Chain A
Amino acid sequence: MATVDEGARPGAERLPPEADLVVRLRGGDGAAFAAVLDAWSPGLLRVARTYVASDEAAEDAVQETWLAVIRGLHRFEGRSSLRTWAYRILINIAKTQGVRDRRTVVWSTLDADEHGPTVAPDRFRGSDDPYPGHWRQTPAAWPSPESEVVSREVRDTIEAALADLPHRQRVVITLRDVDGYSSEEVCSILDISAANQRVLLHRARAAVRGRLERYFSTEEARR
Chain B
Amino acid sequence: MNCDEFVELVTAYLEGTLDPETRRRFVEHLAECEGCDRYLDQIRNTLHTLATLPAQSLPARARDRLLAAFQDWHR
Interface residues of A (CB under 8 A from B): 1-6, 8-10, 27-28, 30, 33-34, 37-38, 41-43, 45-46, 55, 59, 62-63, 66-67, 70-71, 117-119, 121, 124, 132-135, 137-139, 141-142, 150, 154-155, 158-159, 173, 177-178, 180, 183, 194, 198, 201-202, 205-206, 208-209, 212-213
Q: Hey, which chain A residues are within 8 Å of B70, CB to CB?
A: 28, 30, 33, 70
Which residues of chain B have a CB within 8 Å of any CB of chain A? 2-5, 7-8, 10-12, 15, 17, 33-36, 38-39, 42-43, 45-47, 49-60, 62-63, 65-67, 69-71, 73-74
A145 to B5, CA, bound (A): 29
Known A198-B17, A209-B42, A209-B46; contact A2-B71, beta-carbon cutoff 8 A: no
- CB distance B3 to A150 under 8 Å? no
Q: How far is the CA of A131 from the CA of B10 in the complex (A)?
A: 21
Taking A2-B57, A117-B7, A155-B49 as known contacts, 4 extra A-B pairs with beta carbons closer than 8 A to each other, sorted by chain A number, are: A28-B74, A119-B4, A133-B2, A178-B51
Residues of chain B contacted by A27 (CB below 8 angstroms): 74
In the complex, which residue of chain B has the Cβ closest to the Cβ of A36? B70
Interface of A is mostly: helix
Q: Which residues of B contact A71 (CB under 8 A)?
A: 73
CB-CB nearest in chain A for B66: A66
Q: Give 22 A-B contacts (CB < 8 Å), ordered by A residue.
A: A2-B59, A6-B54, A10-B55, A28-B71, A28-B74, A30-B67, A37-B67, A42-B56, A59-B62, A67-B69, A70-B70, A119-B7, A124-B3, A132-B2, A134-B3, A134-B4, A135-B36, A139-B38, A142-B42, A158-B50, A202-B10, A212-B42
Instruction: Assess whether A205 is in contact with B53, with CB atoms less than 8 Å apart.
Output: no
Q: Are A205 and B11 CB-contacts (below 8 A) given A41-B57, A150-B52, A198-B17?
A: yes
CB–CB B55/A201 < 8 A: no
CA distance A30 to B6 in the complex (A): 51
Known contacts A5-B55, A33-B70, A201-B11: A138-B38 contact under CB 8 Å: yes
* CA gap between A15 and B48 in the complex, in Å: 24
Q: Across the interface, which residues of B come within 8 angstroms of A3, CB to CB? A: 56-57, 59-60
Q: Are A41 and B3 in contact (CB under 8 A)?
A: no
| Given A8-B57, A118-B7: A70 touches B50 (CB 8 Å cut-off) | no
> Once the chains bind, are B49 and A154 in contact (CB under 8 Å)?
yes
B50 closest partner in A (C-beta): A177
